[in-house]
Each structure stands twice: as structure tokens, then as C-alpha cells.
Amino acid sequence: MYFKQFLHDETGCASYFVASRQSREAAVIDPQRHIQAYLDLAQEREYRIVQVIDTHLHADHLSGNRALAAATGAVLMLHELADVDFPFQPLRDGQEVRLGQIVMRVVHTPGHRPESISLVLTNPIRSPAPSMVLSGDTLFVGDVGRPDFGGDEGALAQYASVQRLLRLEDYVEVFPAHFEGSCGKGMCGRPSTTIGFERRFNPVLQLSRTDFLASTGEVPPRPLNMAAILATNQGRGDYGWVGEGMASSSEVPSVSPTAAPAWIAEHHALVVDVREPDEFAAGHVPDAVSIPQAELALKLDRVPRDRDVLVACRSGSRSLGAARFLKGVGYDRVANLERGTLGWVDAGNPVDV
């Protein structure tokens, strides 16, 4: 078996190239939108990419699944529950996908997303038992995936899915789809782990069932441009330009909370609050407009290009990412509110509700 992990620092994601040395067939799992690296590897190693699999519908980055399938003639595979507007080969729980002698067993692991799967890999030439699992956004290094739809239903599904993976032997290596980012609260940043290590040291897995459900049932802020990205990955829009903007590392000026009121007045600036609607309703900078970061790309018509814009969130992190995105798509007059609305309040500035 040939196995290669691709780490994508710009998204905090990992994708995988799995191939049979005997049949020269290969599969790419969770491909990123820039597909050339997979094509180059296949050519260099003389493999044929015959399968393209996404472990779930990604909501924080653009998938390269359709582009790679079109470029290679590979079969595009998703779990049967995947809600998309393009053809794919449906995968079912317990199904075995083969690459020559390699067996990839599909394990339906809903929670992060209803269609989420993990792939348990066995290479019979080496061992009749599985040696690794591609865990998607179900099990991370030091964390578990956060249910996209939140609440009791998502938490219960995630708990059951993680327990299914923990039935694997301790020595089974775990390769997740994320090594950092918004999909988990406490990922440690290492790109792989083992079932045994996570069973013993993953802090979320040490929680009681009740505490696990309480922890993972909290609805997290939706990722930056989630609405446009998910629509693209479902085949219901073409927002490929969003990826270029999100990859921007443009320098964004910051405005301190103490200086912000005078800066806003002097620049006649519009304050754009990118928190979730309930956060905004609990208190915000006076006259700010609410555009959640998840919907930003779809609501750019509400962000003026001929006026200074100050982007705000809770603590300054989400707003920095949103401001960099705005810079990346051509907004030159944008700044970030340092330390967010927490800093604004601590500085004694007024708040509207």
C-alpha cells in the first residue's frame, strides 16, 4: 500500500492519497480545491486515480472532488445521505470499497454532519486487521468534531459515532480531516494519532456521557463564508472566488477599543459585526450592522467600498479573518476592532441592544 497525507496549512485541513502498489489504483480522500498536487503525484508514481471520496460536505473550505473526478475519470463517492445537486456513487455503512487488495470499510459517523463517514483501511498483505482509520471530522487529535447542526440530536449522533471508532484496536492509526481550525475547540495540531492514545489522553473522551453531550451540544459560531462554501460544495452555486479571498494574508490595520469611538466618528466608518445574530442582539457597538461571518460572501452588497469599515466580533479573532477576506476581495478601507466587543465594553464605551 502507498499512503500519503497532504497538510494544507491555509485551511488547517488534511487530504489523503491511498493506492495499491499491485493494481496501481489510487483514491484521493477529502481533496482540496487545488488538485494539481494529486495529479502530479499520480503521474510521478504511475498510479491511476480511480476514486475520489469526501468524508462529508465541507463547510469551511471548497472541495476539489468534482474537479479531480472530471480530470481523471474517477468515480466520485459520498455517503448516501449527502444532499448535493450532482451525480455521485452513494456509500453505505459497512460497505467495502476496494483498491486492488486494499479494503476501505465505510463507517457512517454522523454528528459533525448527517452524511459524515470514516474509512477503516486494511491491507491484507500486511495484516487481516485494520491498521488505520481516516476519521474525517469525527475524531481529531485531542478533540472531536463539533456538530454543524448542534443541539441534542447532533451531540447524541457524535457521541455514538466516536464510540464506534473507539471499538477499533489501540494500535490503529487515526488520520483526521483537520489538524487545526474551527471544527474543534482543542485540537492539538499534530496531524495524526492512534485510537489508544486518544482513548487515554483525549480530554473530551474522558468526559462522562452527560458532560460529553453538554460540551459537544453547544452550537459553535458558523465558519467564515460557510453559506457560500456549502452551497458550492453542494453544486448549488459557484463561489470559487471565495477561496482566493480566504487565502489572503493581507495586513489589516487594527483600532484599539479606546481609540475606536473617535476613529469611527473621524472616518465616518460603518461597523460590521460578524458574530452570530443572538450574540449581536445581546449587545453591540451602536449603529453597527449585523452580517454573520458565515454569510459574509453572500452579503457583500451590504459592505460599502467607498467608506471605511471597522469589523467587529467578540474578541477580535473572527473579525480579523473576516477583515482579511474583505481585503482579499478588494476592500481597501477595512480595519479590525482589536479585542472585539469585549474590549469595547471594557473600555467603557456605550452598547446598543
Q: Which residues are catalytic?
A: 313
- Nine-digit cell string for 110: 454522523
DSSP helix/strand/coil, 30: coil
Q: How far apart are CA 147 and CA 143, in angstroms?
A: 12
Which single residue is written with the C-alpha cell 480545491?
33
Residues paired with 337 in a beta bridge: 255
Q: Is the four-CA dihedral 24, 30, 31, 37 of positive or negative sign?
A: negative
- CA angle at 344 for the pair 338 and 345, rounded to the nearest 5°: 145
User: Which residues lie closer than 8 Å to 81 by C-beta, 6 or more apart?
Assistant: 110, 114, 115
Q: Indicate the residue type of 199.
A: R
Pairing of strands 334-337, 254-255: parallel
Strands of 1-99, DSSP E: 2-8, 13-19, 25-29, 48-53, 75-79, 89-91, 96-99
Q: Using a CB cutoff of 8 Å and minimum separation of 24, what contacts does 165-168 make? A: 165/107, 165/109, 165/118, 165/133, 165/135, 165/138, 165/139, 165/195, 166/195, 166/198, 166/199, 166/205, 168/120, 168/130, 168/133, 168/195
Q: Tell me the Ramachandran region of residue 59: left when phi exceeds 0, alpha when psi lies from -120 to 50, beta otherwise.
A: alpha
Report how far residue 316's alpha carbon sits from residue 248's, in angstroms, rounded to the nearest whole number.
17
